[in-house]
Amino acid sequence: MTQHHPCDGTRRRLLKGATTTALMALLPGAFWSLSAGARPGPDFNEPLPPGIVEKGSSVYDFREHRLTSADGQRHYRITVAIPKKEPPEAGYTPIYLLDGNAALATLDEQHLKAMDNATPPVLVALGYDTDARFDVEARQWDYTPKRPDQAPIVNDRHPERRGGGADDFIKLLNDTIMAEAERDLPINTSARALWGHSFGGLFVLHALFTRPALFDHWYAASPTLHWNGYQVIEEANRFQWPSDHPGSALLMRGDAELNHRGPYSSGGSDREINDQLRALAQRMDRVAGFDARFEVLEGMGHGAALAHSLKLTLSNVSGARL
C-alpha cells in the first residue's frame, strides 16, 4: 500500500584524475568474512528521534510509500523528499539513498536549505519500516550479492542474517520502487543517482557492474569489496558502460575505519584497502564514457564515513556546500 504524506513546512561534477598509485592486483584471492564491524552497533537499533520528515521543512515536501518484499520477509518505507522549488527545465535529479532511515537521520533543515539555494534534487530514501536506524537482517539480504545458483550466504555467528538477495532487490527497485517514487514528478531520467555505504556501497558497485543502465551516477562509500570472495571485483572485470550517455562513479572511504572495527577487519590495513579502491576507480575511469575517482575521507571511521560521504554526495549532486 502506498501512503502519501505531504508535510509542511547537476549537477554532478566528477573530475577525472584519480590519485596516481601503482595499480594493484584486484583479482579475488582472499576469503570473504562477516566481521563484527560489518553490522551496525547495538545503538543503531535504538529508535530514532524525530527528524526532518516528522518536523517538516520550509523547502521540501515529503511523501511515503510502504511495500513488502515478494517473499513477505522485508518491509520497506520509501520516503520521497520533493523540493518546493520549481524544477530545472530538464526536471529534478533523483538520488536514491540506501539505508534510508540512517540517511535521513543525518540531514537537517539547514542541509535542505543549502540544497534549495543551489539545485535541489529529489531524495528517495530507501528505508525499512522500522523506527530504528537500520534493519540489520533485511539490509544484509538486500544489499549483498551471491553468484548464480549459489545458496544464500549465512553468517555462522548470526544464522538469521543471510546474504545474497541483491539481485532480488535490484528487481524490486527497477520494477516497482522507482516508478512509484517518481510518479507525477518532473524527473531528469538521464541523471539518476544511487548512494550507499558499507553493504550499501557493495550494492552500488554490484548494481553498477551488472545493471549499468539502472542509474547514471554512482556513489559507493566504504564498500565491502571482500564479500563472497571478492565477487564484486570479478564483476568489475566485465564492466562495460552504455555508449549513448556519460556516467560517473565516486568511491569513498575513511582512513581510520579499522579503528572502530569497520567491515574490513579481516581485509588488510586502511592503506591497503584504500589502495584497492583507488585502483578500482582507476580501472573504471578507463572505460569509455565513464568518469570515476576515489576520495579518502580523512580522519573518518566507518560510522562517520556514512554521514560524511552522504553530504559529499549531495553536495556533488546539488552544487551546494553541505
Provide the grid cell at 277. Answer: 579502491
Catalytic residue among 111, 197, 217, 257: 257
Catalytic residue among 198, 248, 309, 318: 198
Provide the grid cell at 103. Answer: 540517511
Q: Is 197 a catalytic residue?
A: no
DSSP sequence for 200-215: HHHHHHHHHHH-TTS-
**Are 136 and 45 contacting, i.e. CB atoms less than 8 angstroms apart?**
yes
3-state helix, strand, coil in the chain (%, to 5): 35, 20, 45
**Are 121 and 318 contacting, i.e. CB atoms less than 8 angstroms apart?**
yes
Rg over CA atoms, the chain: 18
Provide the grid cell at 122. Answer: 529529489
Distance CA 190, CA 76 (A): 26
Amino acid identity of residue 137, one-letter, is E
Q: Is 81 helix (H, G, I), strand (E, B) or coil?
A: strand
Q: Is 257 a catalytic residue?
A: yes
Give the residue from 22, 33, 19, 21 showing the smallest Cα distance to 268.
33
Catalytic residue among 302, 308, 309, 318: 302
Helix segments in the chain, DSSP class H: 52-55, 100-105, 109-116, 136-143, 166-172, 178-182, 199-210, 227-236, 270-285, 302-318
219 forms bridges with which residues in the sheet? 195, 250
Give the residue from 133, 206, 220 showing the smallest Cα distance to 166.
206
Q: Helices 302-318 and 109-116: crossing angle, nearest 10°?
A: 30
What one-character DSSP code corresponds to residue 294?
E
Catalytic residue numbers, as ranges:
198, 257, 302
